[in-house]
Amino acid sequence: MSAICRLIEIFVMGKSFFTANWETEFKEDVRNIQKGSGLTVSSNRQGNIEVKYRKNGTSQTTTIPFSWSKETKGDAYTRIRNIYKFIAEGHSLKAAADLAQGKAPKKGKDWAYILKNFKYQKLNFGKATTEATFDKQYKPACEMAVELMGGKNPPMNPADLIDMCVKDWAAGSRTRQMRARAVKQFLTHAVTREGIADIWNPPTDLKPHIGEAKPQEKINREGDHFEDDQQIINFLETLPINSPFERDAVAAEKWLNAFRLMAELGLRPIEVGYLKVKKDPTTKEFYWWCDYRKKSGGGTTEPRRVEPLPLIDKEGKEQEWNLINRFKTNTLPLPDRVDGEACNTYLQRKESWKSLKKMMKETQGMNIVAYSFRHSYSLRAHVLGIDSGSVSMSMGHTLEAHHRAYPYASKASTTNAFKRARERLTA
């Protein structure tokens, strides 16, 4: 009878008063995963394995998807050992359990949903951005991240994901910098707002991912000014406005008008689509107005009046393009989309542009880009002796930003200020 009694287990609230040998061994194995690991296991009321982690006076608990049974203890022990590896890397118990279970989204549809929410946040909260800015600065890199995470061999950590999203762009380039920042913000959103395991917290320092151009490759990636106005005029004359192919001729005429506006008004490419013509109520004169607001770390630029500076050819003759009257009468056709990317795409398809770009780099070490039309406006203004404050106001940035972008402007303003002072002394 006593032998029979020893085989009977009395259950209260679903738990046994007796402990089987496998349970004792299992608990001991978990405690000994590493000395001082702080891990213990027990069965919860549902009969599943509950893991507890105690360290430095704090306690964390989570449940893993294994039943409390002899049959599952081997697999459960392997899972708990993997959980501890993630804990040792600095993750919380819950995050470590999620990582060990593979809960971090790897399917493209999961990451696509997160990207949709990320876009909503960027457009509607914080320093809300416009959809056009999101599409330019965030969408390309983030969509690539979504595609990579949905691939057959997705990256297993945020550093690798960022590297894969920027590796096709030159080290130290502005584009590479923008893409790294975009993916970083996307991952931060995924962890803080979407509940993704904190292993996907992006690195705080992006410098290793952005890199730095090799000494022999260093060049002003933001672009330099053209050699002179004549060089701009010569290039614009190469655009195929008389092409026998109507499609090419129409596109060339539209881009010719866009480049002329950028050159004469000192516009950013994207500002071409934000131009208006207004009439001064006092002088009755028509003038250019730009509604574009640029958002940056320094704040948001305000809509502004834009002053034209016609180009001067090598004979000293002013180029009369009649832009404001043609714009006002709707006889100045423009491309449907004008921004930095669209400009560069069109330019890179033109052999005359590629030839000029190569020549400028090889002979003068200068890098001409779509922004070079704008940069040349600044140079033209300072050659004409216009003060930096007035130029920066027309170009739509602060005086500090103007001097930072165009160092010669600061030097010229200083020189002119002392020159005027000396003239007053001798007057």
Residue 402 has phi, psi (to 5 degrees) of: -65, -45
CA distances in angstroms from 324 to 237, 285, 303, 395, listed in the order given: 20, 11, 18, 17
Q: Which pair of tokens denotes residue 258?
A: 């866009």
Q: How many CA atoms lie within 13 A of 53 on its CB side?
A: 22
* Burial track 293-308 (b if 16+ CB lie within 10 A, e otherwise): eeeeeeeebeebebbb
| Model pTM score | 0.53
CA 183 to chain centre: 7
Q: What is the pLDDT along the chain (427 residues), one digit of tens a residue?
A: 444 444 444 344 444 445 578 899 999 999 998 888 899 999 999 999 999 999 888 899 999 989 999 898 888 888 898 888 888 877 788 878 877 776 555 444 478 889 999 999 999 998 888 888 898 889 999 999 998 887 777 787 899 999 999 998 878 887 889 999 999 999 999 989 887 877 788 999 999 999 886 654 444 556 888 989 999 999 999 999 999 999 999 999 999 999 999 999 999 999 999 999 999 999 999 999 999 988 765 567 789 999 999 999 999 899 999 999 999 999 999 999 998 888 988 999 999 999 999 999 888 888 899 999 999 998 888 878 888 888 889 988 776 766 666 655 555 555 655 565 666 666 5
**Strand, helix or coil for residue 129:** coil
